[in-house]
Structure 1
Amino acid sequence: MAGSTLANRALGRLLAQHRRRAGMTAYAVARLLETSQQTIGRMEDGLKSKVPQLWINALADAYHLTDDERRVLIGLAQELAAAQKSWWRPYSDGLRSGFDHYMGLEEAARKMTTWKAAIVPGLLQTPEYRRAIAWIESPGSPTEQVEKQVEVAVHRQGRLRDTAFELDVVLWEAVLRDQIGGGTVMADQLYRLADMGQLPNISIRAVPFRAPGHLGSLTGSFVLLEFPKLKATGMVEPPVVYVEEYAGDLYLEQEAEVERYRRAFVEISRVALNPDTTRQLILSIAKECGP
């Protein structure tokens, strides 16, 4: 799913709808554009990083679209082209395979709702904590590659300065007690969490070990991303659930799947401490870790 953005998804979905309405097959469209059927499939699935305006006009003619429908497609294609200039592109070779797709979604999101059973979320990590994780993941990596990962993490956190962006985080207590990088690194990380949780657009809550059984033990960590309106269409892209796995990432977009995770977060939140009590817990654990 590398290179996909919100504009990709919206453009692909509209092109598929228009094609079906016109009664054309993907094979016929591929013949029209002199490309492969697989390419058409990738384009309609929102996975193609570039869609030429020449193709848009050819498809608009073939599908007998109105002028307004054509303009919407062209606007989305232009947004897609602009997205290729995103700040993280120079770092792509150092990112985990497919992670640039997540970066595009994170950059576009207006709200992120996160449950973490392990590891502090990337948007809240200190450079030292992120560096420690990188060395754990790939102990043989060149120092330059590790430092690029740290740069990306720091740059991502600029998102938090946007007051229109909301971050709602619930952490299992194990996240706070797992001393990634050692006591000093973890203490600094915990003090960072305590500070970030006081920002008006960030909520940080913890589920303590003593909490009764909850769905978080079954779901594993996940992120629910919700988006603003697209400039070209005024449409709101459907939310996405991101599930990070060691062997590969999972993106869930079906309404029923997303709603299931949304309900799970509500259930997990019911056993979470409030933000003030969470901050007290974080600070007490930080004192145990180091100065």
Structure 2
Amino acid sequence: MVGSTIPKRAFGRFLRGLREHVGASLLTASLQIDTSKQTVVRLEDGLPTKITTPQLKSLLDLYEVSPEVRFEALEMWQEVRQQDKAAKLQGTYKGWWQAYADQYASHFDHYLRLEATSNHWISHQLVHVPGLLQTAEYRRNIIRAAHPNLAESDIERRLELAARRQERSAEPGFRMDAILSEAVLRHRLGGPSVMAAQLRYLAQIGTRDNVSIRVVPFSSDSHAGHGILSFTLLEFPPLSCHLKEPPCVYIDGAEGALYLESDRVIERFRTAISSLQRVALSENDTRALMSDIAKEYAA
């Protein structure tokens, strides 16, 4: 977890809960510690701030926490600080992906940090094969379609980034579940030969113990997935006895992205996943379908 913002996010959510429990506004909290309202927002969002331990203790005074909660909060704070120090010493405070920061939208940095620290990745896709499962040529054609004038050197760097991300699939303890609309297999992105190779790759990687790929066929009955767009749900391992990080739903868009983590929203997406899994083909039947369509492309 070194270099991750996950402990900060978990701690920030904890502090936000304390503030909201007593009905204190962001302005009240910021005045209490003589800082800006935006600094308190950043603290609660798990982003870097220059908040000190005395300032944190002052916030806990404002929130009128019990001695037990105060002790727990300060222990969590020390864990966050120690994690920051370890990251700086190891030179990993910034993620490896930031070497490619000129090749992706600014909002995607946060997703990459979440992806790198998750232990379970569930992706529902309506149009494209998800990034962690794309072949290089399939990815190349997605890039060219979105950026027809992009220099070849930039395309290669984006492919390098994709390849680095895909190394996660071989890491112990990391699980991938992909639920794909049959349309994903039918869109001829890059032409028949590119699609045939992509589908053969999906059929092969789907045999791994930690990878599940299932297709929702066109013939399926109505289900909750019809009312929801493409998304990725990320789950995280326990951080410590104090810090627990909730799941996060990521929805990418043409002009930005959404990061959703409220319990109500997460439950709605879990319900959609269960509904999709009920109508999706089995893993074996999915591989058979992909193999058949790959043969059609190769013919």
Same fold judged by TM-score > 0.5? yes
Give distance in 1, aligned partners of 2:159 and 2:24.
47
Give distance in 2, aligned partners of 1:157 and 1:36.
40
Q: Which moved more, 1:116-125 or 1:247-256?
A: 247-256
1:42 is paired with a residue whose SS is helix
Please tell me whether residue 209 in structure 1 is matched to residue 218 in structure 2.
yes
Give distance in 1, aligned partners of 2:226 and 2:263.
23
2:96 is paired with a residue whose SS is coil
Deviations 1:100-143 (Å, cap 9, x if unpaired)? Answer: 11111111111112211110011101111111111111111222
Note the 1:87-126 alignment, pairs <5 A. Answer: 87-126=96-135
Q: Is the 8 A contact 2:124 2:180 kept in 1?
A: yes
Change (3 A) 1:36 1:215: same
**Normalization by structure 2: what TM-score?**
0.86
Aligned to 2:49, which of 48, 51, 75?
A: 51
Note the 1:166-205 alignment, pairs <5 A. Answer: 166-205=175-214
1:130 is paired with a residue whose SS is helix
What percentage of aligned pairs have identical amino acids? 39
1:254 equivalent in structure 2: 262
Please tell me whether residue 77 in structure 1 is matched to residue 75 in structure 2.
no
1:290 equivalent in structure 2: 298
- The gaps in structure 2 that reach 5 residues or longer are 62-66
Note the 1:140-179 alignment, pairs <5 A. Answer: 140-179=149-188
Change (3 A) 1:148 1:19: same
Give distance in 2, aligned partners of 1:261 and 1:138.
31
Please tell me whether residue 60 in structure 1 is matched to residue 69 in structure 2.
no
1:270 is paired with a residue whose SS is helix
Give distance in 1, aligned partners of 2:71 and 2:138.
52
Structure 1 residue 223: Cα displacement:
1.4
Deviations 1:137-172 (Å, cap 9, x if unpaired)? Answer: 111122222222211111111111123111111111
Q: Is the 8 A contact 1:11 1:77 kept in 2?
A: no
**Normalization by structure 1: what TM-score?**
0.88
Q: Is the 8 A contact 1:33 1:55 kept in 2?
A: no
Number of aligned residue pairs: give it. 285
2:5 equivalent in structure 1: 5
Change (3 A) 1:77 1:129: farther
Q: Is the 8 A contact 1:194 1:283 kept in 2?
A: yes
Deviations 1:171-225 (Å, cap 9, x if unpaired)? Answer: 1111011121112211111111011100001111111112222332321111111
Q: What amino acid is the match of 2:79?
A: G
